[in-house]
Structure formats: C-alpha cells, structure tokens
Amino acid sequence: MGMTITEKILARAAGVDRVVPGQLVDANIDVVMCHDVTTPPAISMLVEKGIDRVFDPDKIVVTPDHFQPAKDVQSAELHKRLDDWARRHGIKHYYKLGRAGVCHALLPEQGHIRPGEVIVGGDSHTCTYGAFAAFSTGIGSTDLAAAIATGKLWFKVPASMKFVLNGSLPPGVYSKDVILAVIGRIGTDGALYRAMEFVGPALAGMSMEARMTMTNMAIEAGAKNGIMAFDDTTQTYLRQHLKESTAYQVFESDRDAEYLATETFDCAKLEPMVALPHLPSNAVPIGQCAGRPMDQAYIGSCTNGRIEDLRLAARIMKGKQVAIRTLIVSSTPEVWKQASDEGLFDVFYSAGCVISAPTCGACLGGFMGVLAAGEKCVSTTNRNFVGRMGHPKSEVYLASPATAAASAVEGKLTDPRKYL
C-alpha cells in the first residue's frame, strides 16, 4: 500500500521510511510561526522552567498581527514581551510594526514556506501553508514552547480524505465559495484530525492566493491539515518569493495510497456561497439568503486579504458608494503598498470605505470593526461562531470578497454576479 503526501512528509520529518495513520511520530520541525497572542505564554513557560532558549533562530518567524498596532496597554505589553524575546535570541525573521502583517499571508509572501516541510504555529489557521505541498498545522502555547526550544514535536499521523474538485469555476464563483461548499457538505467535524487533500482540474485554474484560501479553512472542518500537490503554479510562486534557500523536496501521493473517504464536487455547478450564523458549515447558495440586510462588510484577514481579493472588491465598488460600514484590511504591508500603487485605495476611498493597516483585529472581535449587539456583518474571514467579531448577539456571514463587496454596495446580501 502506498502513502499519501501527508504521510510521506511526516515520514521524512521523523526519519523513517514509512508511517501509517494513527502512528505516533517524533518529527523535526522546519519552521515555527510565532505571533503576539500565543507566543508570550509560550515564552513565559520556557522562562519559568529555566529553558529560555530557541532551537534555531533562523527557523522561527515572528510577527505581531492579532492586536497590531497595539489597541491597549495589555496588547502593548504582549508586543513588548515578543520584541524583547526576539531580540534576546537573535530571531532572524522578525517582522515588527511597519513590516508586520497577518501571519498566514506574510510567511508565504516573504519566502518562508517550502514544499515537503513540517511547519507549525501557535494559531489554528497555520494549516494555510498546505497549499504549498507542505504539512502545516496549528498548535497551542504549550506545544509551541516545546517546538521553540527543541525543534521537535510528536504527531499522530492523520488519516487522509480526498476532495476531488472537477470542472472549472464559473464567473462570480471563487475558491472561498468552493471551501464553503466543502465544509457545508461534511460539517465542522467532518474531517476531525484528518488530512484534507484537495485534487482535481479545478485547482489548475486557481492562483496560489486562491488555494491558500481553501487550505486556510481546513481547520473549520476539524482537519489536522489541508494539503495540495505541487504543480507549475506552486513553482512559479516560489520562484518569485523564495529569498534564501531555494532547495525543497516535493512529495506526491502514491496512486495506491489509502484514503478514509473521497468527496467529489462539480465546481462548474457551484454558485456564490454564504455561511450563515453561527457555523462555517451553514453554507447556502446566495439565492437562499440574498436580501438580508447587513450593517457591516469586512474584506481582509488571512483568508481573503491578499491583492487579488482587493482587486476583485475594487472592481465591484468602482464608481459606486457603499451603503453600510465597510472595512478594507490588507493582509501585509506589501499588499497595502501594491493596492495603493494600483489605485485600489482611491476606489475604496471614493466608495466610502474605511482603509486599515494590516491587522487581524476585527476577525477575532478584538478591534478595528467590532460588532454591537444585533449587528450583522458580511465578512471574508474564516469563522462565524457566536461572538466571533464582537457582541454575542451579533451575526457574521462568511462570503467571498466579491459577495462582500456587492453586499457592501447594496447594504444587503447580494449576488456578486450582477456586478461582474
């Protein structure tokens, strides 16, 4: 019996020839991602145990993002602790204020993600990097402390599920709609501690940015990781973004690899999707919810704050006025600069939008777009749990940047295809 791409990567990291689902392995970590919320507790654990060290200052990437710029004294203290620690240990890749960005957009953009590697981070959406044929997964602060100090973690090898994406996406339908349709079918626990492997011809037409949107949300189905095979699109992106070592190892799933289940989708038949409150699995076609009034639109986050997302939103908003409070949040400083240079901010400004520096703030209900009781927000983020973006009696509707932009213009959930 062959192995899946996930199994092969974990076998390589564990120094063994073969692994099987359910096996426990002690794996070497290639990259550790650290941000301002989960890393300070990990630092404290290490200091308290007298093991204040890092396994390799070149393999740890640090950026504040959840509460940056600091929104209050408490978040400023978190940033200070992160800053002191990064300086004390000579962390080479430290992106602080002015260069800080949303972690899961920043690391690939800055060339820290390579195929075949094991990447962990103190954030559940670390599964994003699986778009690059890597094994990446989120961990808690305790495991983060262990990874920082030792460069090793144990994993239970996940069983794999295959998601076959046939056809091509019709106009007005994007990768966000695809992943919402997937989660809508299998549920928020449908891939619990499993590897979600995406294959099929529909992927060929997706950019790396679009693919990252899908792997980013694997955790919303309970998955341990999301992953996609290496192809020409991956290679082209890496050629443009890798700044240091350009060496990497590509793994592919064997034809006789075993999958726990296979789900097939005809992407040509998909419509724009919206996940209704309060679960990402409450996904329905826009036709079933169009017309519901909104109070806020949010376009940004590690799911949909990249340049192609902002271009799409600007295309819809150009020459129009938004009818509701609308926030535009670039995921990284480079995206911010590119959007500015391309005139996208002029479009957003003229439309009446709020334009923010890169931050995760509103996505987790921290700041820069917190919702009041009873308010409804159409959002390009990845999670719409009760109270996720503010008051427990607020509501979040997950959608693509196109749907969010069209809804911002009309002040109600709107099918974006009328503007495209």
What pLDDT digit, counting tens, does each position of 52-83 carry?
Answer: 999 999 999 999 999 988 899 999 999 999 99
**The pLDDT of residue 245 is above 80:** no
**pLDDT computed for residue 420 by the predictor:** 87
**Averaged confidence pLDDT in the chain:** 96
Please give the structure tokens belonging to residue 148: 């920082």
Domain boundaries, the chain: 5-265, 275-419
Average pLDDT (343-365) is 95
Q: Residue 168 — very low, low, confident or very high, per pLDDT cuts 50/70/90?
A: very high
Please tell me whether the overall predicted TM-score, pTM, comes out greater than 0.85 for this model: yes
How far apart, in whole angstroms, are the C-alpha atoms of residue 45 and residue 54? 13
Average pLDDT (336-344) is 97
CATH of 5-265, one of 1.10.3720.10, 3.40.50.2300, 3.40.190.10, 3.30.499.10: 3.30.499.10
H/E stretch holding 344: helix 344-351
User: Edge to edge, what strands does the sheet with 31-34 contain?
Assistant: 93-94, 60-62, 31-34, 118-121, 135-138
Q: Give the count of beta carbons closer than 10 Å to the beta carbon of residue 290.
A: 18
Cβ–Cβ < 8 Å for 380, 399: yes
**Cα-only R_g, the chain:** 20
**pLDDT computed for residue 398 by the predictor:** 98
Domain 275-419: CATH class, spelled out = alpha beta
Cβ–Cβ < 8 Å for 389, 371: yes
Question: What are the pLDDT digits (tens) for 205-242?
Answer: 999 999 999 999 999 999 999 999 999 999 999 999 99
How far apart, in whole angstroms, are the C-alpha atoms of residue 33 and residue 125? 11
Place of tokens 């809508």: 184
User: CB burial class (10 A; 0-12, 13-18, 19+) of residue 154?
Assistant: exposed
User: Fold identical between 5-265 and 275-419?
Assistant: yes
Look at residues 167, 107, 129 and name the one whose alpha carbon lies nearest to residue 334: 107
Which whole-number Å values give the CA distances from 165 to 19, 200, 207, 265, 270, in the listed order?
27, 5, 15, 5, 11
Q: Which residue would you say has higher pLDDT here, 243 or 413?
A: 413
**pLDDT computed for residue 68 by the predictor:** 87
**pLDDT computed for residue 97 by the predictor:** 84
Q: Taking the alpha carbons of 279, 285, 286, 289 in that order, is the dihedral positive or negative?
A: negative
**pLDDT computed for residue 246 by the predictor:** 82
